[in-house]
Chain A
């Protein structure tokens, strides 16, 4: 019986395993050094905040794996020997495979800051990071202040986590406005204000120079590059993005760039070795996507696709229309299609913001054809399937604005803003 070994028990690896099981009777083993069972990485924050216990983040009960004959092995893979199709573990054990799926995800970026490996300095990605945070920031008596470096999705989640326990947070953001490499200006500014409303000390256009330690080798303070200001703190969160977690592959023959290089079939240069999820890097970007997509949904889709290939139906990874979502403290964010931070050539943005400063949308369209290209929505839930359909049908922006209520996904009895949005849109157009 063919033995499929998957390194990594995150959403990509587990989705691949589940779909391979649906399609075949192959022997499946999932290897992980992080946890015994699959958990939702995006939910780790809620464990620290006390919304959930760790076991609640596990989507399947523990009996699920045995019942579906998916073997789980806890261990750290040190190296891959392609010739004999053997994995070598850090404790000396070995495991043979017929087909290997690398789904090892990401690790937090570190940019060589002095002091970046001190005690009390951590990323927020692995379960071990959560345990570390619990150790160094259990409450606001033990941790008087935390500094977060890097204004992305994980940074703002870490800020929310720490502030849920009343720990003062200084949030260093390199950019002139929060996440404005991705979000258009109006949205980014609104989130800036929302962050400050949550009493976070938000420092824009601010870089970290170094992290200083006390005598015991634990974080004591940080120095800001621009001003030289020293901020006393007990915890430093490094959240300046993530990169593929592939150090153990470097000595193998598998081709790597920033991630494991794969073709559209998610195959590496070595036969029977595949890579999916955060750690996979496409030779060429697909459409407007990045070559490495460190997103929950794309990891899942790659797992679904690769399961087909492994089970004899070799197909390309062809993701549909881009979508994503996040939550910035209390403001939910969803995006469908492409809305870049600044309109590109032949593109224009329409921006609407509610006076309460917690809801806004940005619609991107083609100025020549009027084709609807994408929408960002904050504080208003919208329907994925409706936008997916409209994008496929290449609807024009007027149609989308007039039918926006069909896409509304807010709970019943919520106030609707479609008319207000449409009025603003029409007014803008008359002036233009």
Chain B
């Protein structure tokens, strides 16, 4: 085994060499990035011109590269040489890319001054983006505006590359057009334009309508809620919409279509993962061990986020008891009742579908949450302390650990090392909630086509969520996994037409076969029934 792998990397192979389009595309695209880096050290005079050149070069470079890669190929799967190229197989360029991205995120989150952020007038990279920001919102740029712009450019340019790659697959194309649209309109342009409405008497918080709690962990922070309430009917509408998405719209769509409606059709994190991160999907860990780690980590983050949000909300409810109709005590009792009821419903209807560790986990976490609420409720009105923690401290600890380090630095910076969905798989509390629902109350499943599976492993290899799809397909079992984001790539890369993403009746959604279709009918009956 070792010999053959070594041969492959040493001798190289032709499929992995760049053609003229790809070389020119690389040069132009990297040229655009060099311009951006250059702006860190020397301010350009004509910012509009140089920013335009840089962004067009980056976009154009990516598109030229994609053209070289796909334009003269027949429709079909384009994974030749994925494991030979160092960028997509954790080789040298993979590590270079991973370290560069990680470094960028560390600077972005913690050292924005290095990028030129300055309340008295931006310089450097952020200064370069001032004209664009003023054009959209009327305000000078921030590091988040720079990041948002580059993020959107990445999703658009790599989105087109992805559509090109899957020119035979309409599911992939529509899905990608959808994430490109939601990123550009909802995450980027609309919030900036809305900022124009703000004045001294009227102010809305920066609001990306599709960015739901708990992915948006500050959605119900006091200052935001206050701003919404103070902004009259529009603000109130946004606030109500925010609550409705969490408790009504999202559960309904997830019931009908699975969590994919959000994770691979709408979400910005998912959008970046599916476009810019597509080249790294094969790097996710498929071992059973990784799956165990995943279940504990993601649900711990979810519990953390619920506790943190409850703490934050109850704090400001406690401060201003006259301002809100909801009091802190009512709120806490309400949360406890809601969680208890949710748990009871799951336990009553779906207990059989939970594995042993999931049952322990569910009971354990419920006890912890209720205990925390109980301790607080009975501990009187020592207002600054929430549960046994300081609410503000809890909130900023979450923001630092989950919001910055996990979702940004590790989640995106480590694309070329851990795969493109580490955050979505291990960390995202939103994915945690949607996943629970997808597993227990949803029509979505990936159907296996009878006995046609040849256990080749393409589906598992290219599953960005690290699901061992093959282990289900070769048993003729539907794939109903909490983590599945419904990207559809397993179905696309299957050489035997075995997998199909479907929404269907709840009955028989999860079924395993000991003996697959095609065998003697008596034997199938005998074994599959016993």
A residues whose Cβ falls under 8 Å from a Cβ of B: 11, 19, 22, 35-36, 40, 42-43, 46-47, 49-59, 61, 130-131, 134-135, 138-142, 164-167, 197-198, 296-297, 300-301, 304-305, 308, 315-321, 323, 325-327, 329-330, 332, 334, 358, 381-385, 388, 392, 409-415
Contacts and interface: CB of A to CB of B under 8 A. Distances in A.
A24 to B, nearest CB: 14
B248 interface: no
B80 A50 contact: yes
B84 A50 contact: yes
Given A50-B13, A57-B457, A332-B497, A385 B450 contact: yes
A138 B7 contact: yes
A301 B518 contact: yes
B11 A142 contact: yes
A164 B77 CA distance: 12
A138 B458 contact: no
B514 A22 contact: yes
Contact of A51 (B1, B80, B455): B80
Interface in B473-530: 474, 488, 491-493, 495-497, 500-502, 514-524, 527
Given A301-B519, A411-B492, A323 B451 contact: yes
Contacts of A165: 13-15, 80-81
Given A198-B74, A385-B517, 5 more contacts: A50-B81, A139-B14, A165-B15, A409-B447, A411-B501
Nearest to B82: A50
B496 A325 contact: yes
A128 to B, nearest CB: 10
B383 interface: no
B5 A54 contact: yes
Contacts of B458: 43, 46, 51-52
Contacts of A61: 287-288
A388 B75 contact: no
23 contacts: A22-B514, A40-B456, A40-B457, A43-B456, A43-B457, A49-B80, A51-B83, A51-B458, A51-B493, A56-B457, A61-B288, A197-B74, A297-B518, A315-B520, A319-B520, A320-B517, A323-B451, A325-B497, A329-B76, A384-B451, A411-B501, A413-B171, A413-B174
B456 A334 contact: no
Given A61-B288, A164-B80, A381-B449, A320 B518 contact: yes
B199 interface: no
B470 interface: yes
B64 to A, nearest CB: 21
Given A51-B80, A164-B15, A330-B75, A409 B501 contact: no
Nearest to A130: B4
A381 B449 CA distance: 9
B4 A166 contact: no
A131 B488 contact: no
The dominant DSSP class at the B interface is: loop
Contact of B15 (A50, A198, A308, A409): A50
A127 to B, nearest CB: 8
Nearest to B84: A50
Nearest to B492: A411
Contacts of B493: 51
B80 A318 contact: no
Interface string B437-481: 000000000010111101111101100000000110010000000
Contacts of A305: 519-520, 523
Given A40-B457, A327-B496, A49 B450 contact: no
A35 B3 CA distance: 13
Contact of B171 (A55, A140, A332, A414): A414
B342 interface: no
A320 B82 contact: no
B164 to A, nearest CB: 15
A427 to B, nearest CB: 28
Contact of B495 (A19, A47, A50, A327): A327
Contacts of B82: 50-51
Contacts of B519: 301, 304-305, 318-320
Contacts of B249: none
A103 to B, nearest CB: 16
A288 to B, nearest CB: 15
A381 B488 CA distance: 15
Contacts of B170: 411, 413-415
Nearest to B454: A42
Given A165-B13, A330-B77, A296 B457 contact: no
Nearest to A332: B497
B496 A332 contact: yes
B340 interface: no
Contacts of B521: 320, 392
Contacts of B45: none
Give the 9 A-B residue pairs with the shortest CB-CB distance, closest first.
A384-B450, A330-B76, A166-B14, A381-B497, A138-B11, A43-B456, A318-B520, A50-B81, A413-B170
B232 interface: no
Contacts of A317: 520
Contacts of A42: 454-456
Contacts of B14: 139-141, 165-167
A330 B501 CA distance: 21
B169 interface: yes
Nearest to A135: B7
Contacts of B5: 53-54
B12 interface: yes
A317 B493 CA distance: 33
B339 interface: no
Contacts of B488: 411-412
A412 B367 CA distance: 42
B79 interface: yes
A392 B525 CA distance: 15
A40 B454 contact: yes
A430 B175 CA distance: 42
A332 B501 contact: no
B326 interface: no
B487 to A, nearest CB: 11
B8 interface: yes
B7 A134 contact: yes
Given A134-B7, A381-B449, A415-B170, A319 B500 contact: no
Query: Which residue among B3, B16, B83, B455 has the maximum number of chain A CB atoms within 10 Å of its CB?
Result: B455
Nearest to A387: B450
Contacts of A141: 14
A135 B497 CA distance: 32
A304 B83 CA distance: 34
A237 B11 CA distance: 20
Contacts of B77: 51, 330
Given A383-B449, A409-B449, A414-B170, A296 B523 contact: no
A83 B212 CA distance: 73
B132 to A, nearest CB: 35
Query: Which residue among B15, B82, B287, B474 has the maximum number of chain A CB atoms within 10 Å of its CB?
Result: B15
Nearest to B495: A327
A132 B495 CA distance: 24
Contact of B520 (A22, A138, A320): A320
A56 B83 CA distance: 11
Given A50-B83, A411-B501, A414-B171, A308 B523 contact: yes
Contact of A134 (B8, B169, B455, B457): B8
Nearest to A64: B288
A321 B461 CA distance: 31
Contacts of A334: 452, 496-497
